[in-house]
């Protein structure tokens, strides 16, 4: 198993990896972390090739789990094996986790002012825009076929309108959809 960086590049220490992931975790707002990771590890440091990175990215998106956390484990593992995976995971999660609790406490204190509620309502409204753009981007990448579009619509209705439990919807729709794609690929 080749886990060291290629091309005679210096091998980062686990602490170094942790600090890089912590910095990215703490300076990225409103998503888009994958773009930062690409810039850091492929473009700036050349610790992995773009191909290796993109393999990890598609995997991180297709598999369950928060994308950027999956990506941090993938990159950490590729660069440094198990210690790298741990460094990536803890670096991308722990520092921002502390920040969000601090923010929650701060806003709970600010909650005595009516203005805080208005501001948070406005911020939440804009934040939904972030989600919507992500939804539109994802929908654009769905194959234009009867089955994928029906699966997408059925998932939307059962989860969003009918409020069915997500776990069962994903298991049912996911296995059906993956099965159909597998059969398509097999015919090709």
Of residues 48 through 87, those in contact with another protein by CB under 8 A are: 55-56, 58-70, 73-74, 77-78, 85
CB atoms within 10 A of CB 71: 25
Report the residue number, 13 or 104, with the smaller CB distance to another protein.
104
Nearest to 85 by CA among 130, 21, 142: 21
Give the Cα separation of 76 and 89 in Å (integer).
8
Report the residue number, 46 or 105, with the smaller CB distance to another protein.
105
CB of 111 to another protein, least distance (A): 8
CB of 14 to another protein, least distance (A): 15
The residue written with tokens 């406005």 in the block is: 122
Residue from 25, 37, 48, 53 in contact with another protein (CB under 8 A) = 25
Report the residue number, 38 or 67, with the smaller CB distance to another protein.
67
Give the Cα separation of 6 and 21 in Å (integer).
20
Report angle CA 91, 100, 88 to the nearest 5 degrees: 10
Of residues 95 through 154, those in contact with another protein by CB under 8 A are: 95-97, 99-101, 103-104, 107, 111, 115, 117-136, 138-139, 141-143, 147-149, 151-154
CB of 39 to another protein, least distance (A): 14
| Euclidean distance between the first and the last CA atom of the chain, given in angstroms as a whole number | 32
């Amino acid at each position: 198993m080749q886990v060291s960086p290629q091309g005679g590049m210096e091998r980062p220490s686990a602490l170094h990896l942790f600090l890089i992931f912590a910095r990215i975790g703490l300076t990225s707002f409103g998503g888009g972390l994958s773009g930062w990771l690409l810039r850091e590890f492929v473009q700036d440091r050349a610790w992995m090739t773009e191909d290796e990175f993109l393999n990890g990215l598609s995997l991180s998106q297709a598999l369950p789990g928060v994308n950027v956390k999956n990506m941090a484990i993938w990159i950490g593992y590729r660069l440094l094996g198990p210690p790298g995976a741990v460094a990536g995971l803890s670096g991308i999660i722990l520092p921002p986790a502390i920040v969000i609790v601090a923010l929650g406490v701060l806003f709970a204190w600010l909650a005595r002012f009516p203005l805080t509620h208005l501001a948070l309502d406005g911020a939440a409204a804009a934040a939904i825009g972030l989600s919507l753009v992500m939804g539109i981007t994802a929908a654009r990448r769905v194959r234009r076929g009867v089955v994928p579009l029906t699966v997408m619509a059925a998932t939307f209705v059962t989860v969003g309108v009918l409020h069915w439990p997500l776990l069962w919807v994903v298991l049912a729709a996911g296995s059906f959809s993956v099965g159909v794609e597998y059969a398509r690929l097999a015919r090709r």
